[in-house]
């Protein structure tokens, strides 16, 4: 007889960032994670994480709303259900609860972690098996200060920690942003790939001018230049420039991916397990992108180690990550709540080993950073 789910706990955890992290919609000084712990009648525990950027600045789910959703709506649907019936539980949640993909992703991750522990297999084996044990990771230069960003880039290149950089732009006047980006690209030269993330800050006319300037400056990729619902603008821009566009907020799941591809978009997609509703759902999106000739990129909502590990297990099963990943969230935080942090080196990160996620909670750190 299958073990049954006995308890579900959603815990708010606040960890300061190593520096202010500036985006077009907010500046972050603290990252809040929702850590999910599911225990079954056999004594196993599965871990999951739901994290977003800047409270409600990024999307419709906040850490507080994720906790409320899990505590109030998910628990009655999941308690006493078979813990290994992951697809059945996913359908059960989807029938009863619309949206709330961050919360659903944390639940799916925790159930997969528990199943991996039950079978003594890493989570990636439940998704088809890893093709990669070391996965490329870029770093975001987001202090907003040109000289500080150049200094940070030189330091990271010297450590051989990353060789791809993303710059957050869109909060300043267009040409101020262009000068900032161009100066950094000139400083790192051919030693590093430089990409930008506009986080939906431009209208289409601004994007046309901005992308022309960025293309001339040698920038490799432009992420989500226009508002998320304006699919037509992304398609037109992708046809107008040879600098590729990375669709992020526009594409949450496989259906969004199909709609954008069918409309004629070419470029790449930022997959995020939280947007899609879980690791398995994110891989469905990847299959649609691959069938459409659209490049793959492993995106983040600046998750800590638990959420990043879940993403890494999913990305490890993909043959080609055309633009790498940005699973650097744990490096942006001043501390961690796991016993063994992820191993970042040589322009990437190692896939955690061991059953499930391969991650264990540090109970003292969790207690320290848990919201009182």
Q: Which residues are catalytic?
A: 168, 326
Tokens of 291: 């069938």
Strands 45-51 and 27-40 turn out to be antiparallel
Give the CB-side neighbour count of residue 367, counting CA atoms within 13 A: 3
- Kindly write down the DSSP assignment for every residue of 76-116, as one continuous string: HHHTTSBTT-HHHHHHHHHHH--S-HHHHHHHHHHHHHHHH
Using CB atoms within 10 Å of the CB of residue 235, give its burial: 0 to 12 exposed, 13 to 18 middle, 19+ buried.
buried
First-to-final CA distance of the chain? 39
Element housing 167 (H / E): strand 164-168
Identify the CA nearest to 135 among candidates 346, 301, 334, 300: 346
Phi then psi dihedrals of residue 263, to 5 deg: -75, -10
Give the C-alpha separation, 233 to 132, whole Å: 35
User: Cβ neighbours of residue 136 under 8 Å, at least 6 residues apart?
Assistant: 164, 321, 324, 325, 347, 348
* 308 burial level (CB within 10 Å; 0-12, 13-18, 19+): buried
Q: Among 294, 307, 300, 299, which Cα is nearest to 337's?
A: 307
Token pair for residue 183? 């100066």
CB 5 within 8 A of CB 80: yes
* Residue 72: exposure state from Cβ atoms within 10 A (0-12, 13-18, ≥19): exposed
Residues 164, 327: Cα–Cα separation, whole Å:
12
What is the residue whose two structure tokens read 């633009």? 323
């Amino acid at each position: 007889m299958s073990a049954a789910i006995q308890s579900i706990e959603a815990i708010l955890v606040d960890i300061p960032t190593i520096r202010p992290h500036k985006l077009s919609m907010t500046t972050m000084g603290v990252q809040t994670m929702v850590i999910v712990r599911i225990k079954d009648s056999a004594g196993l525990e599965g871990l999951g994480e739901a994290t977003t950027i800047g409270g409600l600045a990024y999307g419709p789910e906040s850490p507080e709303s994720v906790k409320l959703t899990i505590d109030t709506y998910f628990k009655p649907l999941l308690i006493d259900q078979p813990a290994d019936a992951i697809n059945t539980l996913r359908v059960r949640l989807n029938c009863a609860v619309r949206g709330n993909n961050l919360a659903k992703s944390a639940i799916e991750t925790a159930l997969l972690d528990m199943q991996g522990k039950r079978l003594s297999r890493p989570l990636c084996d439940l998704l088809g098996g890893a093709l990669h044990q070391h996965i490329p990771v870029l770093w975001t230069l987001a202090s907003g200060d040109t000289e500080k960003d150049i200094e940070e880039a030189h330091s990271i290149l010297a450590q051989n920690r990353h060789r791809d950089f993303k710059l957050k732009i869109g909060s300043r006047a267009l040409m101020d942003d262009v000068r900032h980006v161009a100066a950094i690209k000139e400083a790192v030269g051919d030693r590093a790939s430089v990409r930008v993330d506009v986080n939906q800050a431009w209208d289409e006319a601004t994007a046309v001018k901005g992308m022309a300037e960025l293309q001339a400056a040698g920038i490799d990729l432009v992420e989500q230049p226009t508002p998320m619902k304006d699919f037509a603008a992304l398609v037109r821009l992708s046809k107008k420039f040879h600098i590729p566009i990375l669709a992020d907020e526009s594409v949450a799941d496989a259906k969004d991916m199909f709609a954008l591809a069918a409309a004629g978009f070419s470029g790449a997609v930022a997959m995020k397990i939280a947007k899609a509703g879980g690791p398995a759902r994110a891989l469905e999106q990847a299959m649609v992108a691959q069938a459409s000739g659209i490049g793959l990129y492993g995106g983040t909502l600046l998750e800590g180690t638990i959420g990043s590990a879940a993403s890494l297990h999913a990305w490890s099963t993909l043959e080609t990550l055309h633009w790498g990943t940005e699973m650097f969230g744990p490096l942006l935080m001043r501390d961690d709540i796991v016993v063994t942090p992820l191993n970042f080196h040589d322009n990437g990160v190692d896939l955690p080993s061991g059953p499930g996620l391969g991650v264990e909670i540090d109970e003292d750190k969790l207690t320290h950073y848990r919201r009182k």
